[in-house]
């Protein structure tokens, strides 16, 4: 038995449409994703450079990496709030 591409991925247009209505506008998603990317690159880019040059220890670089995920998660949680307000 052969499955279609949509069946294998578990994602269909119907699922996509329902996500759009239940999780806020796609614009708010893309804005949050862009903000998360910019923040991550702004923090992690210099941290990697400083770790490679030896100014930061690898442990400090790893700690900075882990701590930088907290604002990214907080920004993403905002989308859940958008969902609750629109429901």
CB 44 within 8 A of CB 68: yes
Q: Which two tokens stand for residue 42?
A: 């702004």
pLDDT digits (tens, 9 = 90+) for 7-52: 555 554 444 444 444 455 677 788 888 888 999 899 999 999 999 9
Question: Any idea where the domains of the chain sit in the sequence?
Answer: 24-86
Q: How far apart are CA 23 and CA 17, in angstroms?
A: 10
pLDDT digits (tens, 9 = 90+) for 49-73: 999 999 999 999 899 989 989 988 8
CB 50 within 8 A of CB 61: yes
CB 3 within 8 A of CB 31: no
- Token pair 């907290």 is at which residue? 70
Q: What Å distances lie between residue 41 and 33, 60, 72, 86, CA to CA? A: 12, 17, 11, 31
């Amino acid at each position: 038995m052969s499955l279609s591409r949509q069946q294998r991925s578990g994602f269909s247009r119907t699922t996509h449409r329902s996500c759009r209505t239940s999780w806020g506008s796609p614009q708010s998603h893309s804005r949050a994703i862009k903000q998360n990317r910019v923040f991550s690159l702004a923090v992690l880019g210099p941290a990697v450079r400083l770790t490679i040059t030896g100014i930061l220890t690898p442990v400090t670089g790893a700690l900075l990496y882990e701590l930088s995920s907290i604002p990214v998660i907080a920004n993403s949680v905002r989308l859940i709030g958008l969902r609750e307000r629109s429901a």
